[in-house]
Amino acid sequence: MVLALRSMSTAALDGLLDPLAFSLDASALRQIIEIRISPDLQERVDYFAKRANDGELTPDEDAENEALIDGADLITILKLKAQRLLAV
């Protein structure tokens, strides 16, 4: 399943993720902030970025690239929520 984050409004996404973020303790919030992608996955992201910039992505690569972008967006939003909750 590919997330459709780009088509989801900020308010809708916040409404979806807020209950999750508020249910986590400080330790879990810190772990979210520390999430990093593996070197292998970063290499894949870089590969797709180059092919996308060159206009050479196949339809399958484009779908995988979009899924990676959506996943990265979701993780970034969760990290920002975790940072805000820990700052309170």
Q: What is the pLDDT of residues 27-82, one digit of tens each?
A: 999 999 999 999 999 999 999 999 999 999 999 999 999 999 989 988 999 999 99
Residue 2 maps to a domain: no
Q: Which domain holds residue 51?
A: 8-87
Residue 3 maps to a domain: no
Residue 58 maps to a domain: yes
pLDDT at residue 19, as a whole number: 93
pLDDT at residue 33, as a whole number: 97
Residue 47 maps to a domain: yes
Residue 26 maps to a domain: yes
For the chain, what is the domain count? 1
Give the whole-angstrom CA distance, residue 29 versus residue 77.
12
Give the whole-angstrom CA distance, residue 81 versus residue 12.
15
pLDDT at residue 5, as a whole number: 58
Residue 45 maps to a domain: yes
Does pTM surpass 0.95? no
Residue 40 maps to a domain: yes
Residue 78 maps to a domain: yes
Give the whole-angstrom CA distance, residue 24 versus residue 47.
34
Q: Is 4's pLDDT higher than 70?
A: no
